[in-house]
Amino acid sequence: MNRKRLILGISVSVLLILIISGLVLFKQWQGRPAQVDQRFPLQRLSYCSSNQVTPCIVSFSLDSNGKMLVNFLTTGAFYPDFYLKIKQGEEQHIYSCQKVNKFATSVYCTGAALPLGEVFQFSIFSLKEDVLLAEGDFSIIGLALGTPIIASSPTLGTPSTPSPTEGILVQTPTLAQMTPTPPTSYPNYP
C-alpha cells in the first residue's frame, strides 16, 4: 500500500514539474524579442484587390498641408498598431499611422510627400515590439488631391443678419398657357 502511494506521489510530482517547466519555457519563448529572420512567412504588402490579403494599400493622397497620406486596409480592430517606413534609395521616411475611428479596418499613415513614378520599398512595423509585419515595393503613379471648400457670402463686405433663405436661389415653377401652333402648310403648286 505504501509502495503504491510512493509511486503515485512521485508520478504526480514529476507531472507537476513538467507542466511548470513547460509554462516557464513558453513564457520565456514568448517574451524574447522577435527577429525578422525568425518570422515565417512574412506577409507581402500589396494593393487591395478582389483577392483580399490584408494588410493592403487602398490609395495615396495629399492632405491640405502637402503631406502624403497612405491609406491601408487591415483585418480589423485587433490588428496591431503600426508605423510605416518608406525607403527611397538610401533615405528612409517614417510615417505615423492611426486607425480610423468608426472603421476598424481602415488605417491612414501621414508623412513626407514623395515624387511620382519612383519605386519605393514600403515596410510596416508593429509599434509595440518593432517587428516587421509586411513589406512590398510600390511605384506611386498618382495622388488624390483634396479640394478645399471655399465658403463665400452673397453680400461680401457688408455685415448682415443671415436669413434662412439667404444665398439660396428659390425658383417657383409657373405654368404657362400654351397655344397650340397650327401645322405648317405649304402652298399647293399645280
CA distances from 184 to 125, 180, 187, 190 (A): 80, 12, 10, 19
Is the alpha carbon torsion for 144, 107, 63, 136 positive or negative? negative
What's the rounded Cα separation, in Å, for the pair 2 and 13?
Answer: 16
70 and 108 in contact (C-beta within 8 Å)? Answer: yes
Q: Is the pLDDT of residue 117 over 70?
A: yes
Weakest mean pLDDT among 41-50, 81-90, 112-121, 130-139: 41-50
User: Which grid cell sits at 54?
Assistant: 490584408
pLDDT at 148: 56
Q: What is the pTM of this model?
A: 0.54
Fold entry, domain 42-145? Immunoglobulin-like (2.60.40)
pLDDT tens-digit profile of 156-181?
444 444 444 444 444 444 444 444 55
Domain boundaries, given as residue ranges, for the chain: 42-145
